[in-house]
Amino acid sequence: MQTFIASNSKEFAQQTADFLFQRFVQKPDLIVALAAGETPLLPYTRLVEKLIHERVDLSRCTFIGLDEWVGIPPDNPGSCAYFLRNVVLDPLNIKSDRFKLFNSQAADLQQECRNMDAFILSRGVLDAIVVGIGMNGHIGFNEPGVSAKKYSHVIDLDANTKNVGQKYFSEHTALSKGITLGLQTLLDAKQAILLANGARKATIMRKALEGPLSIEVPASIMQQHANGFIFMDEAAAGELT
């Protein structure tokens, strides 16, 4: 693992954006999976600005949505799809055949998982997967206790995720399941990039990076990745030894 600790949240965003920018420059047919959420908002915003400013050709890149709340439509501003459309895909004018987001309203969610895995396989493997970390150590919606061998799957969200997830919605929203790329998808990706900022992430980041590799802290799988990159601000790194 390579770890980058920025002195503040803005610098964290810029460092992350610069790193991701290089991925797009180096590989014009990059296949990248992206988390939604508060953490990547500023990094993606900076990245998008730079990609547009530098006129990087993204026409051969493929974008994958990491996860989605089951049953939440893509036009709901709390959905991961809404976030990725608004922050990344639409500003970059990515054509619909160059991205895939989980349809969490599909009648057959197992088939939706197979479709996602087949879509990725049809383009090779992920070059990069960008994840955040939940307060319970989840990445994507790989909740504590999940099997590390899974690719895309549907999962019961734990109580912490259902509570914390309310922050994305303007009114109380019943959340029960998630649909997500799996930890095996992450392990197979050529590069795995974990982002964390803010003091509230300090304890779980210590557990993920310095605790034992444990499925109870799914983000600890980063320790096992052959090519893992961690971007944090000082606050999120505050409990590291």
Contacts to ligand F6R by CB under 6 A: 35-39, 66-67, 80, 132-134, 138-140
Q: Rank residues 39 and 220 by Cβ distance to ligand F6R and give the closer one.
A: 39
List phi, psi (to 5°) of 4.
-120, 120
Burial of 226 (0-12, 13-18, 19+ CB in 10 A): exposed
User: Minimum CB separation from ligand F6R for residue 207, in Å?
Assistant: 15
Q: Rank residues 51 and 204 by Cβ distance to ligand F6R and give the closer one.
A: 204
Q: Rank residues 110 and 166 by Cβ distance to ligand F6R and give the closer one.
A: 166
User: Minimum CB separation from ligand F6R for residue 215, in Å?
Assistant: 16
Got the DSSP string for 82-99? HHHIIIIITTTT--GGGE
User: Minimum CB separation from ligand F6R for residue 37, in Å?
Assistant: 3
Q: At what angle do helices 9-26 and 41-53 cross, to 10 degrees?
A: 50
Q: Rank residues 62 and 104 by Cβ distance to ligand F6R and give the closer one.
A: 104
What are the residue numbers of the active site? 67, 136, 138, 143
Of all residues in this chain, which one has the CB nearest to ligand F6R in the complex?
132
Other C-beta atoms closer than 10 Å to the C-beta of 93 total: 10
User: Minimum CB separation from ligand F6R for residue 178, in Å?
Assistant: 8
